[in-house]
Homo-oligomer: A and B are copies of this chain.
Amino acid sequence: MLNKILNHNKKFVEERKAAGLDKPISGHAHQNLMVFTCMDTRLVDLVEPAMGFKRGDIKILKNAGNIIRDGCDEIIRCIAVGTALMGLSEVYVVGHKDCGMAKQTPEAIKEKMLERGITQEILDSIDIPQWFGLLKDERENVLEGVRKIKESPFVPKDISVYGLLMDPNSGEIEVLC
């Protein structure tokens, strides 16, 4: 696939240059806003247009299941970077319906991991539901994420944090909090 990507990229860069679209823009997000959502392929090129955002407008965080796991500081780190260091004033946690992370079971994960060559010893070293960040419910997960961001001592207190749920096909947004 790498060669296909590079061939495409060469044309992409040339066409963009010819159209004058390659001029530097600011790394400062114009809308002072961060979106934290899921890595799901249906949200690629859907979350941004469904919310009305373009390149240069916002910063976007993505992980598996838009979950903030207990004991894991990675998402809070990124939100702290955006809010305390880069001037963002609003954070939107955007979950979605039909999330793959709400469908996995620890037993099925164990089986698939073993099939793919991950060792029994490694699997025994973790708590599977916690380590993989399995979701019980997409809505609860968004509400929990919003709560954790608001309560974090690394996030400025004047930041607005919202929780939304998106339909991964229509792009329709429901406000949860």
Contact = CB atoms under 8 A, between A and B. Distances in A.
A41 B63 contact: no
Given A52-B9, A122-B153, A112 B85 contact: yes
A42 interface: yes
Interface in A74-123: 74-75, 77-78, 80-86, 90, 92, 98, 100-101, 104, 109, 112-113, 116-119, 122
Contact of A60 (B24, B44, B50, B162): B44
Which among A8, A42, A74 has the highest number of chain B CB atoms within 10 Å?
Answer: A74
Nearest to A23: B169
A109 B85 contact: yes
A80 B90 CA distance: 30
Contacts of A113: 80, 84-85, 154
Given A48-B44, A116-B156, A156-B116, A61 B62 contact: yes
Interface of A: 1-2, 4-6, 8-9, 12-13, 16-17, 22-25, 27-31, 33-34, 39-46, 48-64, 69, 72-75, 77-78, 80-86, 90, 92, 98, 100-101, 104, 109, 112-113, 116-119, 122, 131-133, 153-154, 156-158, 162, 168-173, 175
